[in-house]
Chain A
């Protein structure tokens, strides 16, 4: 090891697993948690709400309007306002991100199911599928591509947004940015951006894979 400032790789290697809190590995773990929970929770929120909006059409306009308003709000003030409720914890970041996710996923669910061709739905009814079965066996699988497209947007956005939480001390890999700013040093910034982008690409790739697996008929159409 030289005497001068460490190179990018040296710094990364040195800080990967320091045993103390705040190692890159730790931050990566925090980051994963704070991005995954909103994605799953967002979907868990969007599915029933989306289905409700399909069942009762009048519900969609107000629901979409409400979530659009939430989506338009910057994350930082939301984090700040939640501190008084959830303190300085990952949950403070997770809650707004969950609502952002839902804002994207509710329209995805609604559009996805609306995209099911009417004649397909009618055939299912005629064949005696109960509404629940129809949903699980027919409508959701066909709606899957649209929903997954929404999930991809949500995944990438969430992974990126978590870093803003660094401003309240809960940023996962975003902490590297605040650290680098306070003690001016380039490598943490670059590593932080690189890891976050990498994480996003991996998540995107996994979702594309999931889509391929869930919709084998699309694959067949491609090969013919």
Chain B
């Protein structure tokens, strides 16, 4: 407990390139960048494969394989091969590991939409792109967001580990602290990372609340149903 107080109370911690604000910012930037790039690749790909039904083997393979690949191993591999001159040798594996959850869930989301709904949409005269954008995506949104959320978990965790291979971020408190037996740094850093992860998750919950139609999440009170149902048939 004392370690925590030591950590947060120390004014030196709150300024400078190795201070809490800086590390927090770095962690946020790297995570956001990796998630953004992963989404840029995976969402359109998932939509395309889900909508056309072609190439779903890619999804299956990527899903199974990605989970098996050890993050630390891949990070070290890339850094050994490409050096530490820029952040890219670290960002690239970060992105690659973040793609599968988004890809799989986006694909499943589109796939999972009731075929009758798809039929009705086409039957009314919507074209492929319109069906995707106006009908499939809004209905699949919960799963797409789930994929993004799972990927975010992955990204925040991997960014933490990436501190080992030279990336900045909150992981540095933990890794550097561990190496120098600076336990206040280790604990303080750990607490910060946990809080950061929780805030990110909460953020996603909010996004879900705001963007998913109540008709899809069925959040409205059941009470509203009764009068309508009992009315005319």
Contact = CB atoms under 8 A, between A and B. Distances in A.
A and B touch in the complex (CB under 8 A): yes
A74 B153 CA distance: 7
Given A72-B198, A189-B76, A196 B70 contact: yes
A156 B201 contact: no
A135 interface: no
A131 interface: no
Given A160-B70, A164-B72, A189-B80, A74 B198 contact: no
Overall SS of chain B's interface: helix
Interface string A148-190: 0000010011011101101110010110111011001110011
A81 interface: yes
8 contacts: A78-B190, A80-B190, A163-B70, A167-B161, A181-B76, A181-B165, A186-B80, A189-B80
B174 A77 contact: yes
Interface residues of B, number: 37
Contacts of A196: 68-70, 73
Contacts of A52: none
A160 B161 contact: no
Contacts of A176: 73
Contacts of A178: 72, 76, 164
B80 A180 contact: yes
A76 B198 contact: no
B135 interface: no
A177 B193 CA distance: 23
B160 A193 contact: no
B189 A77 contact: yes
A156 B68 contact: yes
Interface string B44-73: 000000000000000000001101111111
A72 B153 CA distance: 5
B156 interface: yes
B132 interface: no
Contacts of B76: 177-178, 180-181, 189
A83 B198 CA distance: 22
Q: In which size bucket is the chain A interface?
A: 35 or more
Contacts of A139: none
A157 B70 CA distance: 9
Interface of B: 64-65, 67-74, 76-77, 79-81, 153, 156-157, 160-161, 164-165, 171, 174-175, 178, 186-187, 189-191, 193-194, 197-198, 200-201
A80 B187 contact: yes
Nearest to B65: A197
Contacts of A161: 70
Interface in A198-222: 200-201, 204
Which of B65, B71, B76 neighbours the largest number of chain A CB atoms within 10 Å of its CB?
Answer: B76
A74 B156 contact: yes
Contacts of A190: 77
B198 A189 contact: no
A74 B175 CA distance: 14
A140 to B, nearest CB: 25
A156 B77 CA distance: 20
A171 B70 CA distance: 11
A170 to B, nearest CB: 12
Overall SS of chain A's interface: helix
B68 A197 contact: yes
Given A76-B161, A189-B77, A156 B197 contact: no
Contacts of B189: 77, 80
Contacts of A76: 157, 160-161, 171, 174, 190, 193
Given A76-B157, A181-B164, A181-B165, A160 B193 contact: no
B193 A167 contact: no
B162 to A, nearest CB: 10
A173 to B, nearest CB: 8
Which of A153, A163, A196 neighbours the largest number of chain B CB atoms within 10 Å of its CB?
Answer: A163
A177 to B, nearest CB: 5
Given A77-B174, A161-B70, A168-B178, 16 more contacts: A69-B198, A71-B153, A72-B153, A74-B193, A76-B160, A76-B193, A80-B174, A80-B178, A164-B71, A164-B161, A167-B175, A177-B73, A178-B72, A186-B77, A189-B76, A196-B70
